[in-house]
């Protein structure tokens, strides 16, 4: 069983907010993650987990400190698991121009196939397989999972859930990069991580995955997008996601929020709605 190093611990709404470091086999480096455990759990009373994937430039601490999600999670009786957004440390490749949208803080939740990225940048495997196995070994958390995220993390959450519907009960996103194969952010990252052949990008594009989905694989899906988001038109492509859902009658709940931008002010306003959405799907172990 991999060892965990406790980095910090705080009592919060009678639950615990902790941060750990461990050695990741998927990413070939040490990784940090944060976890909120609701009050009253034990190895005789395991709870479901909601995984949160953060956006460009973030670490696990952005959501932990800014979203204000712990109060609702404590009430609902669900754990929150928040990984970092990329591999880090000595020897991990970074963008040569220190760009914010490639390399450190910008893993895009893919399995990189191109050098030098492929040695470390396998965030898809880390989130789908390694981290849940680690969490379920070390904490009183069961195997009922939901996943959500913001921006690059919204892209990651949608893609991971759509590709692994048997592993998740529901998926949600704030301001996701919904069609990254046509987005400047996505094209830059995918070109470096996955190579020039666009066919290899399609498996990491939520809009394209929805168009190829089967009705039996439809998970409950919720997406919130602010209409004052500065990245809405060029980068996020929410209209493409809406069109894909209509094409295959995918029952997604997609809401445009008037006046809201791309920030954590937006996330903190609606995060409780998302947690309650997931709690409903995760039942019967939650406190609705």
What is the number of other CB atoms lying within 10 angstroms of the CB of residue 235?
A: 23
Q: What's the token pair of residue 18?
A: 């902790």
Residue in 170, 229, 274, 278 annotated catalytic: 229
Under DSSP, the state recorded for 130 is I
CA 268 to CA 257: how far, in whole Å?
13
By the 10 Å C-beta count (0-12 exposed, 13-18 middle, 19+ buried), 198 is classed as middle
Could you read off the pLDDT tens digit of each residue along the chain, which spans 288 residues?
679 999 999 999 999 999 999 999 999 999 999 999 999 888 788 999 999 999 999 999 999 999 999 999 999 999 999 999 999 999 999 998 889 999 999 999 999 999 999 999 999 999 999 999 999 999 999 999 999 999 999 999 999 999 999 999 999 999 999 999 999 999 999 999 999 999 999 999 999 999 998 655 789 999 999 999 999 999 999 999 999 999 999 999 999 999 999 999 999 999 999 999 999 999 866 665
CA atoms within 13 A on the CB side of 169: 20
Asked if residue 92 has a cis previous peptide bond (ω within 30° of 0), the answer is no
pLDDT of residue 98: 87
Verify whether residue 129 is a known catalytic residue. Answer: no
By the 10 Å C-beta count (0-12 exposed, 13-18 middle, 19+ buried), 168 is classed as buried
Q: Which residue has the tokens 């803080």?
A: 105
Residue in 54, 151, 170, 172 annotated catalytic: 151
Q: What's the token pair of residue 150?
A: 């913001």
Alpha-carbon torsion (74, 64, 103, 208), positive or negative: positive
Q: What is the pTM of this model?
A: 0.97
pLDDT of residue 284: 66
Q: In 3D, which of 175, 29, 153 has the Cα closest to residue 83?
A: 153
What is the number of other CB atoms lying within 10 angstroms of the CB of residue 268?
A: 14
pLDDT of residue 216: 59
Verify whether residue 8 is a known catalytic residue. Answer: no
SS3 190: helix
Residue in 150, 155, 262, 278 annotated catalytic: 262
Verify whether residue 10 is a known catalytic residue. Answer: no
Biggest distance spanned by C-alpha atoms of the chain:
50
What is the number of other CB atoms lying within 10 angstroms of the CB of residue 16?
A: 17
Do residues 281 and 220 touch, judged by C-beta distance below 8 A?
Answer: yes
Do residues 94 and 36 touch, judged by C-beta distance below 8 A?
Answer: no
pLDDT of residue 166: 95
pLDDT of residue 132: 98
What is the number of other CB atoms lying within 10 angstroms of the CB of residue 117?
A: 22
pLDDT of residue 44: 83
pLDDT of residue 113: 98
Do residues 217 and 165 touch, judged by C-beta distance below 8 A?
Answer: yes
């Amino acid at each position: 069983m991999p060892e965990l190093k406790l980095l910090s611990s705080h009592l919060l709404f009678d639950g615990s907010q902790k941060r750990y470091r461990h050695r990741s086999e998927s990413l070939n480096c040490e990784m940090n993650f944060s976890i909120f455990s609701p009050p009253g759990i034990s190895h005789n009373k395991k709870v479901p987990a909601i995984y949160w994937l953060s956006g460009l430039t973030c670490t696990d601490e952005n959501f932990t400190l800014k979203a204000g999600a712990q109060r609702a999670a404590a009430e609902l009786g669900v754990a929150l698991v928040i990984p970092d957004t990329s591999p880090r440390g000595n020897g991990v490749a970074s963008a040569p121009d220190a760009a914010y949208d490639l390399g450190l803080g910008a893993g895009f939740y893919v399995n990189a196939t191109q050098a030098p990225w492929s040695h470390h940048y396998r965030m898809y495997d880390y989130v789908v397989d390694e981290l849940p196995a680690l969490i379920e070994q070390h904490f009183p958390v069961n195997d009922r999972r939901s996943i959500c995220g913001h921006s690059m993390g919204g892209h990651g959450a949608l893609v991971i859930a759509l590709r692994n519907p048997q592993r998740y009960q529901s998926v949600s996103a704030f301001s996701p990069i919904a069609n990254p194969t046509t987005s400047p952010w996505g094209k830059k990252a995918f070109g470096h991580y996955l190579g020039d052949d666009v066919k290899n990008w399609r498996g990491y594009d939520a809009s394209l995955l929805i168009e190829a989905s089967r009705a039996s694989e439809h998970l409950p899906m919720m997406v919130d997008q602010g209409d004052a988001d500065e990245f809405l038109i060029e980068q996020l492509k929410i209209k493409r996601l809406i069109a894909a859902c209509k094409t295959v009658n995918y029952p997604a709940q997609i809401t445009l929020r008037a006046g809201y931008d791309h920030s954590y002010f937006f996330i903190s306003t609606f995060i409780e709605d998302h947690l309650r959405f997931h709690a409903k799907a995760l039942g019967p172990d939650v406190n609705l």
